[in-house]
Chains A and B, each alone.
Chain A
Amino acid sequence: MPTLRFVRPEDLSADDRAILERLAKRRGTTIEKLSEIWLAQAHWPALVEANLNESAQAFMQIARLPMLTKQAMHVAVSMSNACEF
């Protein structure tokens, strides 16, 4: 169980909720269906946005390496960090 209960969208300010709705739309989903890795940051939507932008540039954009290699790197690094998620 996560250490911090996930935010309820109705508890956010209108501005913060708008950020999350925009990010969820970019991910092709709704706020409620965002992955827990995003929901875990969602008490501070600006951080979610910063991490989503960083993630897009650092990882998601396919450049020279095949996506299988990048995803395999992700699994290996996560394993070496003992990351269960």
Chain B
Amino acid sequence: MVAVLRLGLRERGVTEIMAIAEHVASVVAAAEGLRLRPDVPREAAGDATELIDARREPPGEARQTLAEIASWSKTELGIDHVPIFWRALASRPRLLASVWAKHRLVLGAGELDRSAKRAIALAVAMNKRSPYWTGYFAQAGRSIAAFDDDVILEIAAATLHYASFNTISHGMMLDAPYTDIVAAEFAPGSED
């Protein structure tokens, strides 16, 4: 964590990273739990695996959120359909609205720009081994020209490295080198 502070991030930026980590972990759990087939950028093909019928008519209360998602998906993902993850939540309109609002908040620009956030989200989805969300976030990066094959490979390589080092530190039960961190103490130009 200290490394990102030395590169200029503050407490808010670290909290943004934490938010992406927990948000992606949570949507991965739901998508893989519901056995959703990847449908971004192309609609899913082959036999259905989903535990629920996500194609049924959504309740009227969900239509406004789904319309917003459809519009966003067109501009931000470059697709003409609502991803099945959002359609799957639609039978609980208030759940859909709350998860969608959080998704927009967490992945919107802040201390970290949206390109960085999409890279972080893809790395977490890769690490969580989610076919659904790796496809989704890879397309999210490609659609704003932040990713191409080379960048996606760079993210996979970095994730390989993180998984390796996390396993070493877990396996050897290494203590955190820093605790009770104050960002200003590690800001660029500080004398830590």
- Chain A residues near B (Cβ < 8 Å): 1-4, 35-37, 40-41, 51, 54-55, 57-59, 63-81, 83-85
Contacts and interface: CB of A to CB of B under 8 A. Distances in A.
A81 B158 contact: no
A65 B160 CA distance: 16
Interface of B: 1, 3-4, 7-9, 13-14, 17-18, 20-22, 24-25, 112, 115-116, 119-120, 123-124, 127-128, 150-151, 154-155, 157-166, 168-177
B176 A84 contact: yes
Contacts of B164: 51, 54-55
Nearest to B157: A58
A64 B163 contact: no
A37 B165 contact: yes
Contacts, number: 141
The main secondary structure of chain B at its interface with chain A is: helix
Given A41-B168, A84-B175, A85-B177, A73 B159 contact: yes
Contacts of B24: 76, 80
A26 to B, nearest CB: 16
Given A36-B177, A54-B164, A64 B150 contact: yes
A79 B21 contact: yes
